[in-house]
């Protein structure tokens, strides 16, 4: 037999507590309508919330096979089932639901439930009636026997009461506890509001956020700010504007209507962050050296606090935005922006600078009786260095002097008579770098330069007068006298050496020598040899040569050139001496391409001996020549005779007999035709 029934059998039946009259009025509307099982609820909360008690019985009294002893007097559309200690003003456990959901049969044999208004309801005639928390399973052994303090069950049987209120089980015969039923015809359902928008986390000043919320009733939500938030943010409808840093809490409400109670306020708190500030040092010094200045430039985010510059370290100072590098070492330039109500302090910008010693330049002046060193600070550095200068002559220290107002002076006369190296060395100080210099006290210098209208030949001769000019350089002390005047050499031949000297006021001496000036202003004598002027040569002339003489510089070259026009050739001899002077001589002669070999030739006429054979010769690149018989002058040859025979390269020959009787005529004309040209040879026989 089931445990709940067994328990009921052991308990005596006690009198039933009287239920309210069946005619109790059902309220029109209940405003208290809790979702799910509720514990320890005052009776006044239920009744003030619009519920009317319609039935009550002790746990010892049976409820009837179908709960009719509880439900017959409860006719409202909504049922609240509760349990409490007998007569208590506090209901230990209750749940409410529409009557149809709470009292309609479920498959209790298989422990089936019906979820309604946050509770799992079950009802079965001959079994039980009760509820459990939403989502819970029940183990119905007539009544629910699972563990839990939010479970209530009464038997729907006629022979026993019971069974449980929360964790109190086995109340079948108990008169210390009772079941109470309340009814309502209509309820105002509870509703909730849920903010569905995603808040910024964090929000930034000046930005906006549109809040959105939904009510479980689907009624529209309204939005407001808490009083403490109104200095941080403002709201217009659903749009929130973040004005300052801090916390902004927005309320989402739904006031309810005839069917829904006002929803609990949903809140959302948004953190409005301070606006970050940035500070940056944008510039760098041209040179961080002692005495230099530097005006840093900065940039940063918009709004907020101004940028404040500062310096750290003993190597620099700051005044009116300008950094002055005062000593060698470490200088840190800082840039800060303070925080405020709406702005967070900027991360400090730091510029680490190494300040170097200022560079110096030392100059040295050698005076007759003292040495003066000037120590100047080079830009961009500045300042007045102290320290000492060591003076050296020829690498040996001759004394030390203190730098005062940028000068160090040592009384010392540098020995004369030779060039000497004089030096000044500034050792430097903590803030100023050392420097040194040296000078050489030199002899003066004199140089000679040569000029002539004609350039010097490769053989070293001039062919025009030569002027020697002198240039003098003091190289320190001034000259004792003027630089020597120029010298002009015009005589032919090799001139004697020219020597000039100068002296300086400090005793220095310099000398220059000019040797070997050679001048040839006369032209050489040129002559053509090998051929005679006006001579006529048969076939080819002898080889022409150049002959020359020069009495001064000598002949450098002698060349011949030829120019031929027709039978006349002009040979020119050009002679050049070693100075570049030139002269020329010319010879003109003629050559005969057609001639009578062995015959004397004079004034254009050949003399031959009658009865003797002579050879006619033709030289040149013409075709085969043809001989034409002689005619008495002045008649021209016309009768063609024999052709010439080849007698060598570009050479033709033909033997011709000068017949007896030719001497009886004063002159004959022989013909030789070369190509289209008739060559007439004049002949006189004897």
Closest to 40 measured CA to CA, from 94, 87, 86: 94
Q: What is the pLDDT of residue 353?
A: 95
CATH code, domain with 529: 2.60.40
Bridge-based pairing of strands 493-494 and 487-489 is unpaired
Domain range for 222 = 193-273
Out of 236, 251, 273, pick the residue that ends a domain: 273
Q: What is the pLDDT of residue 440?
A: 87
| Same domain flag for 268 and 283 | no
Closest to 568 measured CA to CA, from 541, 608, 598: 541
Find out whether the peptide bond into 163 is cis, omega within 30 degrees of 0: yes
8 A C-beta contact, residue 460 and residue 556: no
| Same domain flag for 260 and 292 | no
| Same domain flag for 236 and 256 | yes
Q: Is 593 exposed, middle or buried (0-12, 13-18, 19+ CB in 10 A)?
A: buried
Distance between CA atoms of 183 and 42, rounded to whole angstroms? 16
Out of 500, 519, 538, pick the residue that ends a domain: 519
**Overall residue count recorded for the chain in this entry:** 686
316-345 residues labelled b (16+ CB within 10 A) or e (exposed): bebeeeebbbbbbbebebbbbbeeeebbbb
The two three-digit tokens of residue 178, written as one number: 């009772």
Closest to 4 measured CA to CA, from 143, 105, 112: 143
Closest to 360 measured CA to CA, from 337, 339, 384, 340: 384
Q: What is the pLDDT of residue 442?
A: 78
The two three-digit tokens of residue 414, written as one number: 């540098």
Distance between CA atoms of 124 and 102, rounded to whole angstroms? 11
pLDDT along the chain (686 residues), means of 10: 32 35 59 95 96 96 92 95 97 97 92 95 94 94 92 94 94 95 92 95 96 95 96 96 96 92 94 96 95 95 93 95 95 95 94 95 91 95 94 94 95 86 94 94 87 91 94 87 93 89 73 90 93 89 92 92 91 93 93 92 93 93 90 93 91 93 93 92 94
In the chain, count of helices (H) and strands (E)?
4, 60
| Same domain flag for 228 and 299 | no
8 A C-beta contact, residue 54 and residue 181: yes
**Beta bridge pairs of residue 575:** 558, 583
| Same domain flag for 40 and 165 | yes
| Same domain flag for 293 and 368 | no
Q: Is 668 exposed, middle or buried (0-12, 13-18, 19+ CB in 10 A)?
A: buried
Closest to 161 measured CA to CA, from 54, 1, 9: 9
Out of 469, 491, 519, pick the residue that ends a domain: 519
Distance between CA atoms of 144 and 141, rounded to whole angstroms? 6
Q: What is the pLDDT of residue 12?
A: 29
For the CA atoms of 75, 78, 82, 88, what is the dihedral angle to 10 degrees? -70
| Same domain flag for 500 and 625 | no
Q: What is the pLDDT of residue 141?
A: 82
Instruction: Find tokens 């040899």 and name the residue.
Output: 529
Contacts of 507 (CB under 8 A, 6+ apart): 416, 417
Taking residue 272's Cβ as centre, other Cβ atoms within 10 Å add up to 25
Give the rounded distance of the alpha carbon of 569 from its chain centre.
81
Distance between CA atoms of 152 and 130, rounded to whole angstroms? 5
| Same domain flag for 372 and 343 | no
Contacts of 248 (CB under 8 A, 6+ apart): 203, 225, 229, 232, 233, 240, 242, 269, 270, 271, 272
Contacts of 116 (CB under 8 A, 6+ apart): 97, 98, 101, 102
Going through 416-474 in order, the beta strands assigned E by DSSP cover: 420-426, 435-441, 445-451, 461-462, 466-473
CATH code, domain with 431: 2.60.40.10
| Same domain flag for 72 and 174 | yes
The two three-digit tokens of residue 647, written as one number: 């007698």
Q: What is the pLDDT of residue 507?
A: 55
| Same domain flag for 213 and 297 | no
Contacts of 254 (CB under 8 A, 6+ apart): 191, 193, 215, 217, 219, 220, 221, 222, 260, 262, 263
For the chain, what is the domain count? Answer: 7
8 A C-beta contact, residue 568 and residue 589: yes
Taking residue 362's Cβ as centre, other Cβ atoms within 10 Å add up to 20
Helix (H, G, I), strand (E, B) or coil at 69: helix
Q: What is the pLDDT of residue 7?
A: 33
**Beta bridge pairs of residue 586:** 572
Convert 107-163 into a string of H (helix), E (strand) and C (coil).
CHHHCCCEEECCEEEEECCCCEEEEEECCCCCCEECEECCCCCCCEEEECCCCCCCE
| Same domain flag for 91 and 124 | yes
Closest to 593 measured CA to CA, from 516, 538, 523: 538
| Same domain flag for 263 and 235 | yes
Q: What is the pLDDT of residue 1?
A: 28
Q: What is the pLDDT of residue 469?
A: 95
């Amino acid at each position: 037999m089931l445990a709940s029934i067994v328990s009921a059998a052991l308990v005596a039946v006690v009198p039933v507590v009287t239920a309210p009259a069946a005619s109790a009025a059902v309220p029109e509307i209940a405003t208290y309508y809790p979702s799910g099982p509720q514990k320890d609820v005052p009776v006044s909360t239920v009744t003030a919330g619009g519920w009317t008690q319609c039935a009550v019985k002790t746990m010892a009294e049976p409820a009837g096979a179908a709960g009719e002893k509880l439900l017959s007097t409860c006719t409202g559309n909504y049922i609240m089932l509760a349990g409490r200690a007998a007569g208590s003003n506090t209901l230990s456990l209750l749940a409410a639901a529409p009557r149809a959901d709470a009292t309609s049969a479920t498959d209790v044999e298989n422990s089936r439930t019906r979820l309604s208004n946050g509770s799992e309801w079950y009802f079965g005639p001959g079994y039980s009636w009760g509820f459990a928390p939403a989502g819970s399973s029940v183990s119905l052994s007539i009544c629910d026997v699972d563990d839990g303090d939010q479970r209530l069950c009464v038997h729907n049987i006629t022979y026993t009461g019971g069974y449980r209120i929360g964790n109190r089980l086995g109340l079948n015969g108990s008169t210390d506890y009772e079941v109470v039923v309340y009814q309502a015809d209509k309820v105002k359902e509870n509703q909730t509001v849920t903010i569905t928008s995603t808040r910024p986390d964090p929000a930034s000043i000046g930005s906006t956020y549109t809040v959105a919320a939904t009510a479980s009733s689907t009624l529209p939500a309204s939005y407001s700010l808490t009083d403490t938030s109104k200095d941080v943010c403002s709201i217009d409808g659903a749009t929130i504007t973040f004005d300052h840093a801090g916390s902004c809490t927005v309320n989402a409400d739904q006031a309810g209507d005839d069917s829904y109670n006002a929803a609990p306020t949903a809140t959302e708190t948004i953190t409005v962050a301070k606006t970050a500030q940035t500070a940056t040092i944008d510039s760098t010094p041209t040179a961080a050296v002692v005495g230099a200045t530097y005006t840093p430039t900065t940039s940063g985010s918009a709004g907020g606090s101004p940028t404040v510059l500062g310096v750290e370290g003993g190597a620099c100072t700051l005044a009116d935005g300008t950094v002055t590098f005062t000593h060698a070492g470490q200088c840190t330039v800082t840039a800060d922006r303070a925080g405020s109500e709406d702005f967070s302090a900027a991360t400090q910008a730091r510029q680490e600078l190494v300040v170097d010693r200022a560079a110096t330049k030392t100059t040295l002046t050698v005076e007759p009786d003292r040495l003066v060193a000037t120590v100047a600070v080079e830009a961009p550095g500045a300042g007045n260095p102290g320290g000492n200068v060591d003076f050296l002559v020829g690498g040996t220290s001759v004394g030390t002097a203190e730098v005062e107002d940028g000068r160090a002076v040592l009384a010392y006369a540098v020995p004369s008579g030779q060039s000497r190296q004089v030096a000044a060395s500034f050792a430097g100080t903590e803030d100023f770098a050392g420097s040194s210099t040296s000078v050489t006290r030199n002899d003066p210098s004199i140089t000679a330069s040569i000029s002539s209208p004609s350039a010097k030949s490769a053989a070293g001769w001039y062919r025009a007068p030569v002027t020697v000019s002198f240039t003098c350089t003091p190289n320190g002390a001034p000259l004792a006298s003027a630089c020597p005047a120029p010298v002009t050499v015009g005589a032919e031949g090799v001139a004697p050496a020219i020597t000039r000297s100068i002296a300086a006021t400090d005793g220095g001496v310099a000398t220059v020598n000019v040797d070997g000036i050679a001048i040839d202003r006369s032209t050489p004598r040129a002559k053509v040899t090998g051929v005679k002027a006006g001579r006529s040569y048969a076939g080819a002339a002898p080889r022409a040569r150049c002959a020359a003489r020069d009495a001064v510089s000598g002949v450098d070259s002698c060349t011949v050139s030829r120019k031929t026009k027709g039978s006349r050739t002009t040979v020119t001899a050009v002679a050049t001496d070693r100075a570049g002077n030139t002269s020329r001589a010319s010879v003109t002669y003629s050559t005969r391409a057609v001639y009578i070999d062995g015959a004397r030739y004079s004034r254009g006429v050949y003399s031959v001996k009658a009865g003797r054979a002579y050879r006619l010769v033709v030289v040149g690149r013409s075709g085969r020549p043809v001989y034409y018989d002689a005619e008495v002058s002045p008649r021209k040859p016309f009768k063609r005779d024999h052709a010439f025979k080849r007698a060598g390269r570009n050479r033709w020959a033909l033997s011709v007999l000068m017949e007896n009787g030719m001497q009886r005529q004063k002159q004959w004309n022989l013909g030789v035709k070369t190509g289209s040209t008739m060559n007439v040879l004049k002949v006189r026989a004897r």
